[in-house]
Structure 1
């Protein structure tokens, strides 16, 4: 441990714990620095030449951890024998690449967007996607296609035939996504002899494996982690079970909590000190967990531990989310000298967040003009490294669709690899496109569209003109926004996982607020309602100094009664 770092007792216990561990970390617990110091402690034992593997579930989390490890001088270059990467990349590098894939005549190739491949039996047929079909049988799964409105008098048989052919051809060519990877890994680990050899090899390379953000595990991931543990490698699982939202990668809280019980009691370690948020926010977010998983109340131990601002409940009338929410929240943030750019408005959906700041966004569907406008706006409003990366890829994908290089989003990865652009050579041009298409002050939608056509229409594949591809659309005005220091960011909650802001406004809708309160009071365990409650918890826990929660007027008093604990009283403001 460095002289400048003074860990809490809970952090110190984790840093010095040499066995397996299941770590429950509250929001803002300082787990990244704790993992850095754990690595320093482990790697200081030079008699053991094995490395440490750090796994997480998003590129942004991996980049942050790697940056911190290098900043504090823990990892040397080259990295070997240690490993830092996503859980998916770990599986690909150690379970797939060295052995190939059974039934495949080509070297395996990773195609992350394979599930987005279009499936249709003839040109004028409704397009479905590969994710709407069972990957092992090719059978259509209606529950996965509810948003498509799929209907065929003859049934899905023709689509299933195409899906089965597509799956078989992809398998032969070695085109795998991470769903395929997990199937392959499961088959390999079911072979006891193979599993024993691979376990010994991994044990020979790694003395410890740390799995961060483990709330994003799915059941298959947990089985792999359990296998690593049984193979003799020390495994540390770090998570906040209440942050498993949007079924991200199939993440499931209940399975994670059951997995916790497989660890010895001495190996279950808490991190309840919150370095991010004020005391009133810590109290509120503790109350935003369901009773069964509420646990120990978080304690404010960071730079805002003396902040006295109360949680604000913005009470609105009517069934729709009003734009007055954003205006009132902006005024509250201004009192604390917090600029709008650091005060996002968050909701379960992009639409609700946009409505709260007066920027209702239409569904782009397949309209290339609206898709481009959305991608450009996403590029300019993106924050944090991972989100910038995703926003840039999204813009690149749309530009390729407009120019005719790909027919749909599912073709993106194959095109990038086939064209030799997977080294990132496309990034400078797409960054320039995004910057050039920034909305100018007072610019009309028609003027912006003309600039977009002139900029993108220089390299087209096919006979249609740029005007036919980027058509005028009456909804374009509502998508385009001048990106200025006075504009409040409006985001869906999933876009801010892992981030933090001085001020946050969380928007609850009339449709979900009652169900969420039922979960928080313990009167409901409905899975859908529990999921909605977790989203609010994730959003609220991003706040450092100011937390506002917008709710329908009829629910404001009930929310206040629930949040008022330990002398921290929320204030209701009517808007």
Structure 2
């Protein structure tokens, strides 16, 4: 069947119909790169330039490979191999192994952790979970950069990379790990070994290289800005002296340098292949012009080599709402306001599955999980476990349970929590190692949660805190396809939604603190990560940050440097209490000084402008309902929502529905009861 090329725009058409040979497609976010390379493959086949079974398309993820196969199938093209680098290498090693190693048995090592732990222990290196994970990541990075254990210490000294421990010790662990994979019974191969063996076979075994190159004649590589030196070596082995290669990428979206990925091969393509066809795709069909303009502004400030090949996105959709910027006093307030904004989107008809909250680090999800649960909004955490399912959080809760059984500890759950979490990695300052940092962030978030539970009088002792934590963990709605997505910016790569909330945009989070310490190159990668987050949004984009971590905390955070020049200083950032904030009186708005006043929520001599008896009655009703349902009280209504009900004194369902924090589901579940309680005080 003839391929209908009329569906492509002018630039996509040039890329799709370019003759066989080297083609470089510089494709910006939302510009239809998958459509373009799919049509390129289909056109090559349709024109008789290559048989479909002779094409190997390499993608970054299995999901992308599946999508490419599906699209080719719809175009009537079957037989094209679409795989990730590792999947293709695994298939090739299985086929060629007898020619490479004879009858030596081997099997795939899918869990490297135990062997790295043994290697660390044998080398006299800390074999705790965090260190082992960091060592494992460092070994993977070294292998991706084609650096052996013998050269590791010397090579790392010249590039300014910070290893998890002494470079000589890392090299020793690396060496022992490789030795542990070999035994008289056979070999264990990790995923990087698959690539190494394929490259070596193609370079050193002419018969293997000839057979493979006869099988595959045309190659397509997606996300070419994220290939590693090892993957490039494999690609060159596949090609041999040929140049029938199409690559697709965007240097502005290079966000995996920590794994060894580099955009150099993409940026050097026209030098490597002087007769290459180079096409830029800059028409953005995903996002509104307002969003593409913001993306262009952000990336226009980039520095470094990639800046010279910057793509200027052109929004092709109809105009939409301008991106919004909001600063909040603290993280819980930011989370509640984001949940309220999501409720408004849901009520306006935006499906939950088309809404995402994106953040820099996984520990940031905790506040938003709680706020969404409080608002009765289903959600799913992508690219990571829910907060209470994380290993370090489960371990910390276990330590709290052990502490609760003792009688010699102070009657202060927050102090006990900090002490209990210290052996688990809660140090006074954020540590250096990647795994240690992630653990520290989760433990810090859990301490904040304990402090919030105590401060809001949800619990007064450690046993009650544990009950509250357990209820919160159990009350989390399970992941649902129709739920709002929570994801880190890295996990969001390659995805898109109608509405995106970019949250927690503060210095030392975006850019992350260790990138700031490392220097300009790492900070520029953080800028690209911000750019990727912006370009995930189709129509609604809301950016926010908070000035303090906790309610009532010091407002000493600064907005991300990447927001400089985008939005003027907001009112909340101009507050004279910017650096030090106390809880304020609900009546007069002035700071509260004594614990009794903070507990009451007002000065003792300030007459409340709401019915305190009604407020107390609503709280008693909420407690009864939550106990009967076996769930925490905040899942019924938050204190803030109950106070709003008290102040508004609703008399019917429409007036109740108009109150912030009260949605249709809440009205359906609790409306009659709430109105009955209010009626007693009219």
**TM-score, length-scaled by structure 2:** 0.56
1:204-283 matched pairs, under 5 angstroms: 204-247=214-257, 249-254=259-264, 256-259=266-269, 261-264=271-274, 266-283=276-293
Unpaired runs of at least 5, structure 1: 372-471, 565-569
> For the residues of structure 1 that align with 2:510 and 2:63, how far apart are their CA atoms?
34
Look up the match of 2:9: 8
Q: CA deviation at 1:277?
A: 0.7
Note closer, same or farther for the CA distance 1:232–1:140 as it changes in structure 2 (3 Å cut): closer
Unpaired runs of at least 5, structure 2: 372-385, 398-465, 548-556, 574-682
Listed one character per residue, the Cα deviations across residues 309-361 of structure 1 (whole Å, up to 9, x for unaligned) are 10111223358884235235425634753233321100111212333453692
Q: CA deviation at 1:213?
A: 1.8
Q: Does 1:538 align with 2:550?
A: no
Look up the match of 1:397: none
Look up the match of 2:494: 498
Asked whether the equivalents of residues 202 and 209 of structure 2 are also in contact (C-alpha less than 8 Å), the reply is: no
Bigger RCO of structures 1 and 2 (CA < 8 A, at least 6 apart):
1
Q: Does 1:93 align with 2:91?
A: yes
Q: CA deviation at 1:253?
A: 2.9
Look up the match of 2:198: 185
Look up the match of 1:353: 365
Look up the match of 1:63: 66
Asked whether the equivalents of residues 277 and 543 of structure 1 are also in contact (C-alpha less than 8 Å), the reply is: yes
Structure with greater helix percent: 2
Listed one character per residue, the Cα deviations across residues 348-388 of structure 1 (whole Å, up to 9, x for unaligned) are 112123334536925833677999xxxxxxxxxxxxxxxxx
Q: Does 1:163 align with 2:177?
A: yes
Asked whether the equivalents of residues 43 and 51 of structure 1 are also in contact (C-alpha less than 8 Å), the reply is: no
Listed one character per residue, the Cα deviations across residues 25-56 of structure 1 (whole Å, up to 9, x for unaligned) are 11111122222211221112347546211111
Asked whether the equivalents of residues 314 and 573 of structure 1 are also in contact (C-alpha less than 8 Å), the reply is: no
RMSD (Å), alpha carbons: 4.3
Listed one character per residue, the Cα deviations across residues 544-567 of structure 1 (whole Å, up to 9, x for unaligned) are 101112135686697666448xxx
**TM-score, length-scaled by structure 1:** 0.65
Q: Does 1:510 align with 2:506?
A: yes
Q: Does 1:20 align with 2:34?
A: no
Look up the match of 1:424: none
Note closer, same or farther for the CA distance 1:201–1:97 as it changes in structure 2 (3 Å cut): closer
Look up the match of 1:296: 311
Look up the match of 1:308: 320
> For the residues of structure 1 that align with 2:546 and 2:69, how far apart are their CA atoms?
43
Match of 2:491, SS state, is helix
Look up the match of 1:34: 36
Match of 1:237, SS state, is strand
Listed one character per residue, the Cα deviations across residues 445-497 of structure 1 (whole Å, up to 9, x for unaligned) are xxxxxxxxxxxxxxxxxxxxxxxxxxx99754444412479964321122222
Q: Does 1:344 align with 2:339?
A: no
Q: CA deviation at 1:2?
A: 4.4
Q: CA deviation at 1:58?
A: 0.9
Q: CA deviation at 1:280?
A: 0.8
Look up the match of 1:482: 477
> For the residues of structure 2 that align with 1:256 and 1:65, how far apart are their CA atoms?
21
Match of 2:182, SS state, is helix
> For the residues of structure 1 that align with 2:259 and 2:170, how far apart are their CA atoms?
26
Match of 1:119, SS state, is helix
> For the residues of structure 2 that align with 1:252 and 1:473, how far apart are their CA atoms?
48
Asked whether the equivalents of residues 360 and 510 of structure 2 are also in contact (C-alpha less than 8 Å), the reply is: no
Note closer, same or farther for the CA distance 1:4–1:46 as it changes in structure 2 (3 Å cut): closer
Q: Does 1:174 align with 2:168?
A: no
Q: Does 1:529 align with 2:552?
A: no
Q: CA deviation at 1:502?
A: 0.4
> For the residues of structure 1 that align with 2:389 and 2:351, how far apart are their CA atoms?
29
> For the residues of structure 2 that align with 1:345 and 1:43, how far apart are their CA atoms?
41
